[in-house]
């Protein structure tokens, strides 16, 4: 018997409006997918739209993290007990069948269908009668699934399952895109973090600054606390060098806790990782032996810690430890790779800092020794100078052999006196105690007098050219100290110029600045020498077999000029002579 026309029209109308609702829901979902890379809002919209369109009483979305089984990401109307049971048995029930078949699986009666497997009792207790599971398939990989539940028997027609598959395909593409975007974002953050941390580590050669910068950087990205341990030469105990903890203050002194439990090589997780030179993850799935108890995990309030050794040229210099306390946080393979890369950078920075510290201590010991020697030499040297001066005055004939010998003693005693003065100056400069007696002085007079003193000991044939733009130039300065600088510069010019060379001395003032330029006709300066010229103890090449000093004169000269608020610089090229310029503020 034919169906009445009115009934046929009503059925057709219901199918029409159902198709309209599906199309609108699919459009809404597609619009959201194209506007965001966030998974949570897509999952929430899918749950609401699917329930409304297909008349489900409850719904759940299951997602898979890389390398892990599917777990519930969001659900509506389902108890925590049921979701826990599903998470444990997902692959052994209808969800597993949908994942294997790569298509929707419909269970019309959960009480009798064998597909429910170990979930039969749980689904009956939940009051569910029928369900459908639709997998999210992308490039033949199951990324997740949508499950719709009905409290009464419910059937799904072929077009219903086709519509659900279309929904699932859209979500699968969104999940794949979100994962690609998230992976790219992680790689960018990782690269940025490594670059910024590398810049931070290399911004200082101070060991303490390097260590604290490293511990802070690690806690910002990889964990909630970080400790840096160092291993000193010929020792087996690691020492705690830096520690950062982001836990709220509760009165616990966790740094003291760690200080009281310093790891030994081979002992505990930290000691094992350091001894074997390999990264070690310790958590609930990878615990250490229970005897003796691990003091760095549960007693420390952590559920996970990660240890990476610091190796510089295959030599163990320490270890980095990262802790997690919040049970919601986990350590991923990317985290381990990132910490390994960071440890490589840190090991190099620590080795550089260690070499710098060793050089600094050696330099400090050298300065202290020279300062002590200088003070010890001062008293006998003063006596030598005094008695030699008396001998020079009493010598009747300076041209006699005795008179020449006395003059040699006087000359060498003066040279030794200048060296002692330079060493004492170094000590005062390093302690910030360089003393200046400031007064209003004519800089041109200071320079001219220094020139006369140097010229008196110059070699025959050496020419001096002097150009002064103004007759006088007044500055606030220490005449003795300024004279010391210009005598040093002129003596250097004499030393490096050939016997028939020319030394040019130019005096100018402009824009309230006095400028003194001294240029020689020697072999000039390479770029490498220019970069080292004002360092302590730098002597460079001493030409024409003439003896050099201790390499302190230019270092002291720069300190004196800078103490006057001025600058000193050098320029020159190989074969073109060297030029020094002193600039001072003038009145």
Do 224 and 100 fall into the same domain?
no
- Say what the pLDDT of residue 414 is: 77
Evaluate the CA torsion angle 443, 446, 450, 451 in order and state its sign: positive
What is the token pair recorded at 482?
């300024």
Q: Does some domain include residue 13?
A: yes
What's the number of domains the chain is made of? 4
pLDDT in tens, 445-457: 999 999 998 888 7
- Say what the pLDDT of residue 300 is: 93
What does the alpha-carbon distance between residue 403 and residue 57 come to, in Å, rounded to a whole number? Answer: 121
Do 447 and 382 fall into the same domain?
no
Q: Which domain holds residue 228?
A: 203-350
pLDDT in tens, 53-90: 888 899 999 998 755 778 899 999 999 999 999 999 99
Q: Does some domain include residue 109?
A: yes
Closest CA to 303 of 280, 279, 282: 282
- Say what the pLDDT of residue 577 is: 86
Q: SS3 for 450?
A: helix
| DSSP 8-state symbol, 544 | G
Q: Does some domain include residue 334?
A: yes
Count of C-beta atoms within a 10 Å radius of residue 464? 16
pTM, two decimal places: 0.49
Closest CA to 22 of 43, 49, 59, 55: 49
Q: Does some domain include residue 89?
A: yes
pLDDT over 50 (residue 544): no
pLDDT over 80 (residue 583): yes
Segment among 263-277, 525-539, 555-569 with least mean pLDDT: 525-539
| Residue 522 pLDDT class (50, 70, 90 cuts) | confident
pLDDT in tens, 268-310: 899 999 999 999 999 988 888 766 788 999 999 999 999 999 8
Do 65 and 159 fall into the same domain?
yes
- Give kind and range of the element (H or E) at residue 53: helix 39-54
Do 244 and 283 fall into the same domain?
yes
What mean pLDDT is reported for the chain?
83
Name the percent of the chain lying above pLDDT 70: 88
| Among candidate residues 317, 350, 383, the one where a domain is terminated | 350
The position carrying tokens 């005897």 is 291
Q: What is the mean pLDDT of residues 220-231?
A: 90
Count of C-beta atoms within a 10 Å radius of residue 248? 5
If one compares 111 and 538, the residue with the highest pLDDT of the two is: 111
Do 268 and 170 fall into the same domain?
no
> Do the Cβ atoms of 136 and 171 come closer than 8 Å?
yes
Do 48 and 105 fall into the same domain?
yes
pLDDT over 70 (residue 201): no
| Among candidate residues 330, 350, 370, the one where a domain is terminated | 350
Q: SS3 for 55?
A: coil
Closest CA to 520 of 583, 462, 562, 436: 462
Do 365 and 339 fall into the same domain?
no
pLDDT over 50 (residue 545): no
Do 443 and 416 fall into the same domain?
no
Q: Does some domain include residue 225?
A: yes
Beta bridge partners of 397: none
pLDDT over 50 (residue 467): yes
The domain spanning residue 85 has which CATH number? 3.30.450.40
> Which range has highest mean pLDDT (18-27, 169-178, 417-426)?
169-178
| Among candidate residues 151, 182, 213, the one where a domain is terminated | 182
pLDDT over 90 (residue 258): yes
Q: What is the mean pLDDT of residues 403-409?
A: 81
Q: What is the mean pLDDT of residues 214-222?
A: 84
pLDDT in tens, 116-139: 999 999 999 999 999 999 999 988
Count of C-beta atoms within a 10 Å radius of residue 126? 20
- Give kind and range of the element (H or E) at residue 571: strand 567-572
DSSP 348-407: HHHHHHHHHHHHHHHHHHHHHHHHHHHHHHHHHHHHHHHHHHHHHHH-S-TTSHHHHHHH
Count of C-beta atoms within a 10 Å radius of residue 449? 14
Do 248 and 345 fall into the same domain?
yes
Q: Does some domain include residue 174?
A: yes
Q: Does some domain include residue 197?
A: no
Q: Does some domain include residue 539?
A: yes
CA distances from 551 to 381, 419, 537 (A): 21, 10, 4
560 alpha carbon, distance to own chain's centre = 36
pLDDT over 60 (residue 471): yes
| Residue 245 pLDDT class (50, 70, 90 cuts) | very high
Q: What is the mean pLDDT of residues 355-375?
A: 77
Do 282 and 384 fall into the same domain?
no
């Amino acid at each position: 018997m034919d169906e009445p026309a009115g009934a046929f029209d009503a059925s057709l109308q219901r199918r029409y409006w159902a198709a309209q609702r599906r199309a609108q829901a699919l459009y809404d979902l597609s619009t959201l997918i194209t506007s965001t890379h966030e998974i949570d809002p897509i999952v929430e919209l899918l749950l609401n739209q699917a329930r409304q369109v297909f008349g489900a009483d409850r719904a759940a979305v299951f997602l898979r993290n890389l390398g892990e089984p599917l777990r519930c990401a969001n659900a509506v109307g389902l108890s925590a007990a049921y979701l826990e049971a599903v998470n444990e048995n997902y692959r052994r029930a209808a969800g597993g069948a949908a994942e294997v078949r790569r298509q929707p699986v419909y269970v019309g009666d959960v009480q009798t269908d064998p597909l429910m497997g170990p979930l039969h009792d749980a689904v009956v207790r939940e009051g569910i009668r029928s369900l459908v599971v639709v997998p999210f398939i992308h490039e033949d990989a199951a990324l997740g699934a949508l499950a719709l539940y009905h409290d009464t028997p419910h059937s799904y027609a072929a077009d219903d399952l086709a519509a659900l598959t279309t929904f699932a395909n859209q979500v699968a593409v969104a999940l794949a895109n979100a994962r690609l975007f998230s992976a790219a974002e992680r790689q960018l953050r990782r690269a940025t973090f490594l670059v910024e941390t590398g810049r931070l580590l290399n911004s200082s050669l101070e060991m303490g600054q390097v260590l604290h910068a490293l511990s802070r950087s690690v806690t910002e990205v990889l964990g909630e606390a970080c400790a840096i341990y160092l291993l000193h030469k010929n020792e087996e105990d690691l020492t705690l060098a830096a520690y950062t903890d982001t836990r709220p203050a509760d009165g616990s002194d966790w740094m003291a806790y760690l200080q009281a439990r310093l790891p030994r090589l081979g002992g505990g997780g930290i000691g094992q990782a350091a001894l074997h030179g390999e990264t070690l993850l310790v958590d609930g799935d990878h615990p250490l032996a229970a005897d003796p108890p691990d003091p760095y995990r549960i007693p420390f309030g952590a559920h996970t810690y990660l240890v990476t050794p610091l190796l510089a040229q295959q030599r163990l210099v320490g270890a980095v430890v990262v802790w997690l306390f919040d049970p919601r946080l986990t350590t991923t393979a990317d985290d381990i790779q990132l910490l390994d890369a960071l440890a490589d950078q840190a090991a190099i920075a620590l080795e550089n800092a260690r070499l710098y510290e060793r050089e600094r201590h050696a330099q400090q010991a050298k300065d202290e020794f020279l300062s002590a020697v200088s003070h010890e030499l001062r008293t006998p040297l003063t006596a030598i100078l005094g008695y030699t001066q008396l001998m020079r005055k009493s010598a009747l004939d300076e041209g006699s052999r005795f008179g020449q010998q006395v003059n040699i003693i006087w000359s060498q005693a003066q040279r030794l006196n200048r060296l002692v003065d330079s060493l004492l100056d170094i000590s005062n400069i390093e302690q910030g105690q360089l003393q200046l007696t400031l007064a209003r002085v004519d800089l041109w007079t200071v320079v001219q007098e220094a020139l006369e003193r140097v010229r008196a000991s110059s070699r025959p044939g050496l020419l001096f050219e002097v150009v002064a733009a103004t007759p006088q130039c007044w500055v606030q300065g220490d005449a003795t100290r300024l004279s010391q600088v210009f005598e040093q510069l002129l003596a250097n010019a004499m030393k490096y110029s050939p016997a028939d060379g020319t030394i040019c001395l130019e005096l100018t003032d402009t824009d309230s600045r006095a400028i003194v330029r001294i240029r020689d006709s020697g072999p000039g300066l390479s770029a490498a020498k220019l970069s080292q010229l004002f360092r302590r103890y730098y002597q460079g090449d001493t030409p024409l077999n003439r003896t050099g000093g201790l390499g302190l004169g230019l270092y002291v000269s720069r300190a004196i000029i800078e103490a006057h608020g001025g600058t000193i610089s050098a320029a020159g090229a190989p074969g073109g002579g060297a030029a020094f310029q002193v600039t001072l503020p003038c009145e």
